[in-house]
Amino acid sequence: MADDLAGLKRGQTAQEAVDEARMLANWYSSNAPTTTRLVAPDLPPPKPATGDDVPFDRHGRPPMSQRATDHAALVLVYSFGSLPVGAAISLVLWRLSSVSPTTLTIVGVGTVGVITSIGVAARMIGRAVRDGASALPTNTVNHFTGPNYVQHNELHTETKWFGTTHNELPGNRE
């Protein structure tokens, strides 16, 4: 019996060793039914790290919030989207390699001038809209309490040939 128990693994009981031997015999046997369940021994939980252990980074992406994950995915998508733009710019620069530096300077200054004029125009339009909005009268809302008589008048507009417009209130219609 001592010779049989000498093959026990550390922390394994005699019953577990017998069960393991029976399962191995069933596994290699051609006429025995297949084992459908294996009970793993309960292992003690690992001890917390103490002493000189150094923390290490996990592989892959670090844990992030959903917003940060979405932002990272957008950055990846935009980086792939920049490939065709970069290829087009490379093609244009390759074709321009035979052009003289004077021509390149004129084209560059012209492009900067167009972009600057568009920016100035956009700023002027924004300023005009802001000034126009500030010149509008303030919206006055009157709140009344008690019985009020409200008269609803509908203005009927009729436009005829050559832009002649006739505005009529309901009482003036014939």
pLDDT tens, position by position, 140-160: 887 777 777 766 666 677 777
The total domain count for the chain is 3
Inform me whether the pLDDT recorded for 172 exceeds 60: no
Same domain, 104 and 92: no
Domain membership of residue 160 (yes or no) is no
Give the length of the chain: 174
Cβ-Cβ contacts under 8 Å for 12 (sequence gap 6 or more): 20, 41
Same domain, 15 and 27: yes
pLDDT tens, position by position, 69-126: 889 889 988 888 888 888 888 888 888 777 777 877 887 888 888 999 999 999 999 9
Range of the domain at 29: 1-34
d(CA 52, CA 56) in angstroms, rounded, equals 13
Same domain, 5 and 30: yes
Domain membership of residue 29 (yes or no) is yes
Same domain, 78 and 104: no
